[in-house]
Structure 1
Amino acid sequence: MTIRALHVASELYPLLKTGGLADVAGALPPALIERGADVRVLLPGFPAVLGGLSDLRTVARIGRRFDAPHVTLEQGTLPASDLVVYVIRADSLYDRPGNPYLDAEHVPYGDNAQRFALLGWTAAQLAQQLDPAWAPQIVHAHDWHAGLAPAYLKAAERQHGKAFAHSVFTVHNLAYQGVFPAHLFGQLGLPADYFHMQGIEFYGQLSFLKAGLYYSDRITTVSPTYAREIQTLAQGGGLDGLLRNRTHDLSGILNGVDYSVWNPATDALLPEHYTASQLSGKHACKTALQKRFGLASKGDALLFGVVSRLTEQKGLDLLLAALPEIIKRGGQLVVFGTGDAALEKGLQRVAHAHPESVAVELGFDETLAHAIIAGSDVVAVPSRFEPCGLTQLYALAYGSLPLVHRVGGLADTVVDASLENLADDLTTGFVFERFEPDALGAAIRRAFALYARHTEWKATQRRAMHQDFGWGASAERYLALYRELA
């Protein structure tokens, strides 16, 4: 029997991307379709989404909802993959330039609760045949933006005395919870008793993320280690009790990499291609990167790359403290991203003082991200916490050895260059245990030590490139979960 599943998300690569969520929404549905599932995606009608779909047509007229006077459901296809995408057209809520969540001053939009309540509500309506031609058996909601979908489904089930669809809720990052003032509850159209500790109430406010965790039939998160971590006080974000109560409904399924996009042998964004057996093109990528950033053109300098949001979560305050170690040993660092103003300034100060060794560029651009991943010898992902992390997986594929903190998905995907791991041919990168400057410093020294041993470095690069974190295995696990529910 073919499983019909609707994925509900706020962004999708290549239409709109602010983080890893878009990569997952873009890659997981096609991987499920390849395995025989009938999968569609529901997105808010942001300008980039409407502009990037072909064959848009109206499926249903919804009328007035959540302060939006004219709401319609449209359907189009993603040209790259022929994926069927439903779009909510509600221009008064979604037709805004720039970031989908924040205004020009980087402040969250005042009506985000209504904007994303409409997303969850529409998902539940699709399960109730809003599109006369198709209805899902599984509604798979991603992150807080889609967190109300399971709540609206449970409310419909109560109202009509029958279940319309089962729900799966995936937490991509528990730190972002979609918390809003309690007085907005009345606008959501949910039963009054849903505003309760056993429900969507969270310390006197509403939490869209908690709604997803509480009302969904199954919860997944994006790595096995993170699934354990979020059930602890330290990493549970105030929801650890709820997650421990639902431990039997919670599983960690590692995110995958779309190797059609991330493959150094075919990547059109690189100056030269290379493979695990033919690595010379990687050297050309490194030379081009040094030139692009105005670093000293030294082929033997160990080049560290960072492509990241510049925030404390990403551990870049720790990296900033360890920078003297890298510079002293003749290493180089390229940093690309935006975020916390203090971190941006701190990194820029070091770059200004050591222009031959350190370069910082603020912004985001997919082409440059690929160039840095390919041109670096080491890609640093020293995150305080990291649900899954995709950067280290891209780095492995490109033979750029990841340097990571042993948390979440980083712990599940990178094997440290300890003496015993080197002896057993297991090493794929550098892992530090404690989130402290000296622990990171020791990992940096291990990177320099291995780099000095040319043959072992090359062998480690090849081993990293042979790791398979494709979507296949993950898609199979999601499909098993859907079948169990359906």
Structure 2
Amino acid sequence: MNVLFAASECFPFIKTGGLADVAFALPKALRKIGIDARVILPKYGAISSYFKSNMKHIASFEVPVGWRQRYCGLEYLEHDGIPFYFIDNEFYFCRDDTYGYYDEAERFGYFSRAVLESINYLGSFTPNIIHCNDWQTGMIPVILKDIFRFSERHNNIKTVFTIHNLKYQGVFDKNILGELLCLNDGYFNENALKFRDGVSYMKGGIIFSDKISTVSNSYAQEIQSPFFGENLDGLLRNRSYDLWGIVNGVDYDVYNPATDNNIETNYDSERFYNKVQNKLHLQKILNMPVNQEIPLIGIVSRLVDQKGFDLISHILEDLLQDNIQLVVLGTGSEIYENMFRYFAQKYPGKLSVILQFDNSLAQKIYAGSDMFLMPSLFEPCGIGQLIALRYGSIPIVRETGGLRDTIHSFNDTNQQGNGFTFENYNCYDLLYTIRRAEYFYYEKKHIWRNLVRNGMNEDNSWTKSAHKYAELYSYL
């Protein structure tokens, strides 16, 4: 089976979120079970010169964008045993940022068409399946079925569309149908691409793909309801037979405290007593009191409502009265950035805030924290809680989406569970749950050590998920 994994970002070349981790780790896991999985993504200007210098030019061709013809270069690189293809067009992709431009419809409409055109230049590799990811690739199934339906090399290709976050849908003016996508106005109807008064790339992926998946079983159920469905819940209910929920995993080669070069001291579940050295080092570099007895709570996140920061805003001052330390790494809404700045000045030594994305520091926080906080309003899958378990930091989460599927509240009676959870989206439930974790940390040291060790020994790798995707592919 040949699978071409189409994504707008992929670790280690370009990363803004969890999609990049999936686009690297899932094909890697699929290849280990005998599937020839390859990845295709834009050749962004921000990709390091090291990778660019090792790319091999395969082909040059033109891609129709409405009435225009745009250059496309196809580059190839094998990294970590995975074949990668890069769509090269400097006008669209050689920019300072990955997303957020006025011409997103054109950039990713071009990318979708270029992915399909590139199949003519892949030599002996012809995909049986194109696995599309999020709205940036939502036009691939549409264009495949419309423009390439009579192409001998394309007409047997099936498509899978994975929803990583339904909230971001790629909705644009209806004029793009002919102006950019070479599609007729017949696609502007409720049974095709019409979404209110615009055209939705996300809707295109959902309707025109042969199978749909999302990144946890709970999220697959949630998005069929009005609250989580972002006005596409009816469509998803209609396609529920084709909708699979498959939880993401963690690449255990990348996220491994026994070999991680970003952390101060390596450790594993048999040597987890070495973890404390990472805590002491983190406290030191953050100018916090160096004290191994104080529980250190970590947050690595976008600072937005979805991630539960409105709850945190209501209980932050109360929380900082406790004998804890809190470290926050991330960027996001100005209101939350300012909130953390204010409280960091008010409670120096108890709250450290780093308003940027720093992958090396993120690893230090996973390794150095005792608890990891994710009180999300919704969370399609979440990878932070899985990395936290791997590094022996006990997750404190709200029961939603992938958090519900992967973190189970500790039960003192039967000693089952791997974290601390709350169900209602309520700030006082959050505060109670954090303080429950504090209690076990301070008063039940033997239980806490078992929680840490058991979490580190869990298998949250991609192995099980890769087999589920292989099962999904087998239905096509």
Question: Above 0.5 in TM-score?
Answer: yes
CA contact (8 A) 2:58 2:121 kept: no
1:466-485 superposed Cα distances (whole Å, 9 cap, x missing partner) = 11111111111111111221
Residue 437 of structure 1 corresponds to 427
Query: 1-side partners of 2:73 and 2:463: how far apart?
Result: 31
- CA offsets 1:415-441 (integer angstroms, 9 cap, x no match): 112xxx233232211101111111101
**Count of aligned residue pairs for this structure pair:** 471
Determine the structure 1 residue equivalent to 2:115. Answer: 123
Q: State the AA in 2 paired with 1:354.
A: Y
Seen in structure 2, the aligned counterparts of structure 1 residues 66 and 394 have a Cα distance that, compared at 3 Å, is farther
- Residues in 2 aligned to 1:446 and 1:71: alpha-carbon distance in whole angstroms: 59
Q: 1:206 aligns with which of 183, 199, 205?
A: 199
**Shift of the alpha carbon at 1:245?**
0.1
Query: Partner amino acid for 1:92?
Result: F
Q: Specify the alignment match of 1:136 in structure 2.
A: 127
Within 1, Cα distance between the matches of 2:354 and 2:67?
40
- 5+ unaligned residues in a row in structure 2: which ranges? none
Aligned counterpart for 2:143 among listed residues 152, 164, 169: 152
Match of 1:173 in 2: 165
For normalisation by structure 1, the TM-score amounts to 0.94
Q: 1:415 touches 1:430 (CA, 8 Å); kept in 2?
A: yes
Cα separation, 2, equivalents of 1:83 and 1:168: 20
* Contact 1:222/1:254 (<8 A) preserved: yes
Matched, 1:424 2:414: yes
Q: d(CA) in 2 for partners of 1:189 and 1:70?
A: 13
Identity of aligned residues (%): 39
Specify the SS of the correspondent of 1:459: helix
Partner of 1:114: 106
Is 1:449 matched with 2:442? no
What amino acid maps onto 1:463 in structure 2?
A: N
User: Following TM superposition, by how much is the alpha carbon of 1:317 offset from its aligned partner in structure 2, in angstroms?
Assistant: 2.0
* Alpha-carbon contact 1:60-1:74 (below 8 Å) kept: yes
* Cα offset, 1:257, TM superposition: 0.2
Aligned partner of 1:105 in structure 2 is none
147-156 vs 208-217, greater mean Cα deviation: 147-156
Kindly indicate whether residue 16 of structure 2 is the aligned counterpart of residue 24 of structure 1.
no
SS across alignment from 1:282: helix
Determine if contact 2:46/2:95 at 8 Å carries over to the other structure. no
User: In the superposition, relative to structure 1, how do residues 364 and 50 fare at CA in structure 2: closer, same or farther (>3 Å)?
Assistant: closer
From 8, 17, 23, the equivalent of 1:10 is 8
Question: Which residue does the alignment assign to 2:463?
Answer: 472
Equivalent position SS for 2:270: coil
* Cα deviations by residue, 1:39-68 (Å, 9 ceiling, x for unpaired): 211111211347424232132422564687
| Letter of the structure 1 residue corresponding to residue 131 of structure 2 | H
CA distance in 1, matches of 2:268, 2:81: 29
Deviation at 1:448, TM superposition (A): 0.9
- Rounded to whole Å, the distance in 2 between the matches of 1:233 and 1:145 is 23
* C-alpha contact (below 8 Å) 1:313/1:385 kept by paired residues: yes
Please show how residues 315-394 of structure 1 align to structure 2 within 5 Å. Answer: 315-394=308-387
Q: 1:82 to 1:65 in 2, by over 3 A?
A: farther
Structure 1 window deviating more from structure 2 (303-312 vs 293-302): it is 293-302
- The offset of 1:379, in angstroms, is 0.5
The CA distance in 1 between the partners of 2:83 and 2:375, in whole Å, is 37
Distance 2:200 2:336 in 1: 29
Cα shift at 1:215: 0.4
In the alignment, the residues of structure 1 paired with residue 68 and residue 344 of structure 2 have an alpha-carbon distance, to the nearest angstrom, of 48
Between the aligned partners of 1:37 and 1:277, the Cα distance in structure 2 is 34
Q: 1:41 to 1:50 in 2, by over 3 A?
A: farther
Instruction: Determine the C-alpha separation between the residues in 1 that align with 2:66 and 2:326.
Output: 48
Q: Which residue in the other structure is 2:94 paired with?
A: 95
Q: Which of 17-26 and 277-286 deviates more?
A: 277-286
2:258 to 265, 280, 284: 265
Q: Distance in 1 between matches of 2:339 and 2:384?
A: 23
Give per-residue Cα distances to partners, 1:2-26, cap 9 Å, x unaligned. Answer: x011110010001100000000001
Contact 1:169 1:218 in 2 (8 A): yes
Aligned in 2, Cα 1:360/1:306: closer, same or farther, shift over 3 Å?
same
Partner of 1:431, secondary structure, is strand
